[in-house]
Amino acid sequence: MDLQLAKKNAVVTGAASGVGRSIALCLSKEGVNVVISDRAMEKAENAAGECVQLIDRADELLGPLDILVNSAGIWPTNLVVDIPVEEWRKTFDVNLTAVFLTCQRFAQKVLSRGGKGKILNITSQAAFNGSTTGHSHYAAAKSGVVTFTISMSRELAPKGINVNALALGMAETQMNQDILATNRGYYENRIQIGRIAKPVEVARFAVFLVSGCADYFTGAVYDATGGMITR
């Protein structure tokens, strides 16, 4: 199948490792020109300036942008009674505010030239089920990504920008490696398929969602959880 991606220009955040890295590599294999971002987003320092500069710089390097994938995220662990306010704010800055800012600037760029584009935001099954392991702030931010994605699609799809989200379960990533080393069985027992996802398995579907073959898909959140959640 021709995914109609050759020579498209994309930005992928959180692309130094894990699912973001796999998405960037899979896009590249399809002939996409990819600008990746990681550490600057995760520091959450001067988030507004960094996010806008990322999109602007990518546009300068590649030309008009066609695709934005927001995969950057942090997953701090603390029970509700113990979450410091600064940790709460940083979790929202990285997992939600940065998504807003990159999406906003990407949309401004695409609409200013009368073009078309695809946005894919990576969220989590925790957005629907909440957290049972001390990640309530993460779950709340990821829930925000879901509703923001749907709202954006209502505004932008009629203008030529498709907006979707991909809700992940557990994947073999650097962010999850410590908790999987000590509590793998807990997560595997919740997954119908019975194993943790490989990042490339998620990436292949992500690439489809930003491809020309998915022009009719927008305003949806797709589950990539191996049956951890069923909706």
Summarize the confidence of residues 202-223 as an average pLDDT: 98
Q: How far apart are CA 70 and CA 74, in angstroms?
A: 12
In the predicted structure, residue 22 carries a pLDDT above the cut 80:
yes
Instruction: Quote the Cα angle for 143-75-140, to 5°.
Output: 20
Q: Which residues contact 220 (CB under 8 A, 6 or more apart)?
A: 164, 165
In the predicted structure, residue 189 carries a pLDDT above the cut 60:
yes
Find the catalytic residue in 138, 186, 187, 222.
138
pLDDT at site 57: 93
Domain range 9-224, CATH class: alpha beta
- 216 catalytic residue (yes or no): no
Q: What is the pLDDT confidence band of residue 49, given thresholds at 50, 70 and 90? A: low
pLDDT at site 168: 95
pLDDT at site 1: 86
pLDDT at site 122: 98
pLDDT at site 41: 47
Across 9-23, 119-133, 148-162, 165-179, least confident range: 165-179
pLDDT at site 230: 83
Summarize the confidence of residues 35-45 as an average pLDDT: 63
For residue range 84-117, list pLDDT tens digits in order.
Answer: 999 999 999 999 999 999 999 999 999 999 999 9
Summarize the confidence of residues 118-137 as an average pLDDT: 94
96: which 2 tokens?
Answer: 């939600």
Annotated domain spans of the chain: 9-224
In the predicted structure, residue 170 carries a pLDDT above the cut 60:
yes
Question: What are the C-alpha distances in Å from 184 to residues 172, 179, 188, 189, 196?
Answer: 11, 7, 6, 9, 9
pLDDT at site 44: 44
Greater model confidence, 17 or 148 = 148
Query: Tokens 């940065």 appear where?
Result: 98
